[in-house]
Structure 1
């Protein structure tokens, strides 16, 4: 639950989003066509403060947490789901350096202002090997959302100390000068996120830019009373909760469009002209709205759980983390169902290439299937948490 100060700050940020909304909406088709959010949309987003929501105040951030990020980026998603997606990725990624040594954080935030970031928390054959006072990095990371705009990127890796011991899971921080971008992101939805692979070849980084996986994803900092609120936000719970904000905003926009057009558009091969004279259509709109509302309430509940835990020094239990994932599962399922309901209600015109509703349908249906939030696995995580049995994944 947002404090009064956080609520006021969120409302001010949302007002700034609405002010730039026309720019984001006008550029949404370009983002889809060019497979990246246009530069003028990025510049507009920077004026809202969204990239600093989860950055320390000393570095120009809002120290906002999960709920502020969810509410602000779901508003961005009403104008452009792709802009919301990269905003979320950047803001959550900026949390991760707070779990690295302070010397590395000082390097990243040397300008005392928020930085745009990307992160991939699964490895794809990447490896870092101890070399002197640092590590030699070689690797490739898939689906690097926001990598086209990022100043820094974080990738999961196999950490080899070079002492004969088995490599262990870790994370490496890379400046944009240390990786190249491989053009791999060819999709039918969420095209504007530019989620290309990034590749590091024979790069050397200082030791403070490499940490073990437990430091980044584990609960140790969440139990420290001297840790900052942002350091206690649970990354594996944050990512699935807020990543769906773009699809949530897109679904809201689609609902508004279908409702507005229904006063003019007939139901083909029927006596209903306009669509809104059909009781079945009106009932369908009500059902779609309820599903979108349900998704929003689930995500808000999850975000509030994350923030509440971070405000104290008692880490979220496995059962609580599982409950968050169950909320995400129900949100993604309901958003997908709502968009399909709206497609049935509006009619096949939705699938015309030039129809913005078709783009929203593709974006939402793609976004809700992100592996960390998609309903099949997240429902299973939620069910296992409720039953108190072994989880199907260590990333809960």
Structure 2
């Protein structure tokens, strides 16, 4: 409702954020970053605190709630939804820090804006009390407005897996390197750390996150294995983008402007097809979110979730593509929401976590293994 005061941590107010983000979407696209007003509202309604443990004032919320809120924001601006979802996901990493690290991150409140460089491209040299970290991490969304950054690097000890290091804003700089064709408003620039000291309480092994070995929290959002949940963070904005494209197309059919062909019946068919594809994708993502929120998952569910997310995004790309092509020349002008959603979903779908070929093979393998087990045949692990 207009004039309603947003309560901190209330993701149910995501619709108001969507309206604000939509008003700023063209400027965000042009300037390659979200406006400060949009960032503030994303924080205000609770995206940053959504996965923060309750003992630090957070919500320790569900993936189902985050999916719904992110998709709502995405209908107004895909870039805003992406930054919102990834801010929640990066904040979740804090639950794997030692207790003193969590206190430093959230001791003054749960709304710190955390970003993450997920690829282990940096280096860490062990020194008394911690590590000296240096390196560059590309494609860090929302970094200009961040308070902290998790950066990943190879473990300094032989045989040790990669580690995440939490670095305060004063210890990293940002290179303006984000010049993409889609998702332009995410401001996914490059983080540079020039030899920052990171104490031991601000680091953890990446394996802990993969396995869901959090510190001091038994909430499911902290104990769920990463592969069960990570695809949702990246797929949810695409669901919103498709809904935004459908709304833009519906406005054309509603009389404000005609579809390119002038054939309303064809426009209705395109609309019905796109809505059906988006609805199917939404159901896949809802199932994946419900699985991520369960107390435990089966081996089949664990590999089905990445598949569900990748397949959902495939459907969403096809839905937007159908409408964009049907819009003709008029839909391709700068400032038209439809062309922005089209650029965004195609760009988003290229993310490594959403590649259908990568996700489908483990799922197919597990399906075959499960079928053999039910039939009493040899399982794959036995080699027979």
After TM superposition, the score normalised by the length of structure 1 is 0.86
Q: Deviations over 1:66-96 (max 9, x none)?
A: 1111101110111111111111111011111
Q: Spell out the pairing of 1:15-30 with structure 2 (5 A cutoff).
A: 16-30=13-27
Corresponding position of 2:218: 227
Q: Deviations over 1:198-233 (max 9, x none)?
A: 1111111111222222112224459x9x72333213
Q: Spell out the pairing of 1:137-176 with structure 2 (5 A cutoff).
A: 137-161=133-157, 165-166=158-159, 168-176=161-169
For 2:160 and 2:223, locate their aligned partners in 1 and report how far apart those are by CA, in whole Å.
Answer: 27
After TM superposition, the score normalised by the length of structure 2 is 0.88
Out of 252, 255, 260, the residue aligned to residue 261 of structure 1 is 252
- Residues 47, 203 of structure 1: alpha-carbon distance in 2 compared, 3 angstrom cutoff: closer
Corresponding position of 2:47: 50
- Residues 168, 62 of structure 1: alpha-carbon distance in 2 compared, 3 angstrom cutoff: closer
Q: Deviations over 1:340-381 (max 9, x none)?
A: 101122222111112121111111211122111232322233
For 1:323 and 1:218, locate their aligned partners in 2 and report how far apart those are by CA, in whole Å.
Answer: 17
Q: Deviations over 1:376-396 (max 9, x none)?
A: 3222333233234999xxxxx
Q: How many residues align?
A: 365
Corresponding position of 2:287: 301
253-262 or 85-94, larger mean C-alpha shift: 253-262
Q: Spell out the pairing of 1:62-73 with structure 2 (5 A cutoff).
A: 62-73=59-70
Out of 126, 129, 149, the residue aligned to residue 125 of structure 2 is 129
Corresponding position of 2:373: none
Cα shift at 1:294: 1.0
Corresponding position of 2:197: 204
**Residues 54, 63 of structure 1: 8 Å contact kept:** yes
Are residues 1:241 and 2:237 paired? Answer: no
**Residues 242, 299 of structure 1: 8 Å contact kept:** no
Query: Which structure 2 segments of 5+ residues have no match?
Result: 1-6, 370-378
- Residues 384, 359 of structure 1: alpha-carbon distance in 2 compared, 3 angstrom cutoff: same
SS state of the match for residue 256, structure 1?
helix
Query: Which structure 1 segments of 5+ residues have no match?
Result: 1-8, 392-396
Are residues 1:115 and 2:112 paired? Answer: yes
Corresponding position of 1:100: 97
For 1:382 and 1:183, locate their aligned partners in 2 and report how far apart those are by CA, in whole Å.
Answer: 39
RMSD: 2.4
- Residues 221, 57 of structure 1: alpha-carbon distance in 2 compared, 3 angstrom cutoff: closer
**Residues 209, 225 of structure 2: 8 Å contact kept:** no
**Residues 252, 259 of structure 2: 8 Å contact kept:** no
**Residues 182, 197 of structure 1: 8 Å contact kept:** yes
Cα shift at 1:244: 1.6
SS state of the match for residue 145, structure 2?
coil
For 1:381 and 1:362, locate their aligned partners in 2 and report how far apart those are by CA, in whole Å.
Answer: 29
Cα shift at 1:12: 5.6
Are residues 1:288 and 2:274 paired? Answer: yes
Cα shift at 1:267: 5.1
**Residues 259, 267 of structure 2: 8 Å contact kept:** no
Q: Deviations over 1:125-150 (max 9, x none)?
A: x1112101111111211211121222
For 2:204 and 2:170, locate their aligned partners in 1 and report how far apart those are by CA, in whole Å.
Answer: 20
- Residues 266, 97 of structure 1: alpha-carbon distance in 2 compared, 3 angstrom cutoff: closer
